[in-house]
Structure 1
Amino acid sequence: MNLHALKIFYTVALTGSVTQAASKLNISQPAITAQIKKFEKELNVVLFEPKGRGIALTSVGQKLIDPTRRLFTLEDQIESIIEDYRSHKSGKLRVVGTYLATSFLIPRWAAKFKSNHAEIEVTITTANSKNVLDQLVNYAADIAICGGEPKFYPDEVEWEELYKDEVWFVVAPDHKYANQHITFSQMMTEPFIMREEGSATRERLFALCKTNMVQPPKVALQFSGLNETIHAVSSGYGASFISSLAACEFVKRGELAKVYVEELPPINTIALCTRKHEKYEPFVKEFISMIRENLPLNDAL
Structure 2
Amino acid sequence: MNLHALRLFYYVAVTGSVTKASEKLHISQPAISAQIRKFEKENNIKLFNIQGRGLVLTPLGNKLIKPLEKMFLIEEQVQNLIEDHHNYPEGKLRIAGNYLATSVLIPKWASLFKQKYSAVDVQITTVNSHEAIEKLINFEVDVAIYSDMGVPFANPDEFECTELYRDEYLFVVAPGHNYAFHKVTLKEIASEPFIMREEGSAARERLLRLCREQQINPPQIELQFNGLHETILAVMAGYGVSFVSSLVAEPLLKQGVLARVDVPGISSMNSILLGTRSREQQEMFVHDFIGLVIQQLDTKV
TM-score (norm 1): 0.95
Aligned pairs for 1:147-158 (under 5 A) are 147-155=147-155, 157-158=159-160
Q: Which residue of 1 aligns with 2:11?
A: 11
2:290 corresponds to 1:288: yes
Q: Which residue of 1 aligns with 2:242?
A: 240
Deviation at 1:201, TM superposition (A): 0.7
Secondary structure of residue in 2 paired with 1:170: strand
Is the 2:96–2:125 Cα contact (8 Å) retained in structure 1?
yes
Is the 2:211–2:217 Cα contact (8 Å) retained in structure 1?
yes
Q: Which residue of 1 aligns with 2:88?
A: 88
Secondary structure of residue in 2 paired with 1:160: strand
Q: Distance in 1 between matches of 2:278 and 2:48?
A: 39
Q: Which residue of 2 aligns with 1:189?
A: 191
Number of equivalent positions: 299
Deviations 1:6-49 (A, max 9, x none): 10011101111111112222222222111111212233321111
In the alignment, structure 2 segments of 5+ residues that lack a partner are none
Is the 2:129–2:149 Cα contact (8 Å) retained in structure 1?
no
Q: Distance in 1 between matches of 2:260 and 2:28?
A: 64
Aligned residue among 158, 163, 174 for 1:161: 163
Q: Distance in 1 between matches of 2:76 and 2:218?
A: 40
Change (3 A) 1:263 1:51: farther
Aligned pairs for 1:199-218 (under 5 A) are 199-218=201-220
Q: Which residue of 1 aligns with 2:70?
A: 70
Aligned pairs for 1:117-136 (under 5 A) are 117-136=117-136
Secondary structure of residue in 2 paired with 1:169: strand
Q: Which residue of 1 aligns with 2:182?
A: 180
Q: Distance in 2 between matches of 1:154 and 1:252?
A: 41
Is the 1:148–1:204 Cα contact (8 Å) retained in structure 2?
no
Q: Percent identity?
A: 51
Q: Distance in 2 between matches of 1:149 and 1:122?
A: 26
Deviation at 1:148, TM superposition (A): 2.7
Deviation at 1:63, TM superposition (A): 1.3
Change (3 A) 1:48 1:278: farther
Q: Distance in 1 between matches of 2:270 and 2:48?
A: 48
Q: Distance in 2 between matches of 1:275 and 1:211?
A: 33
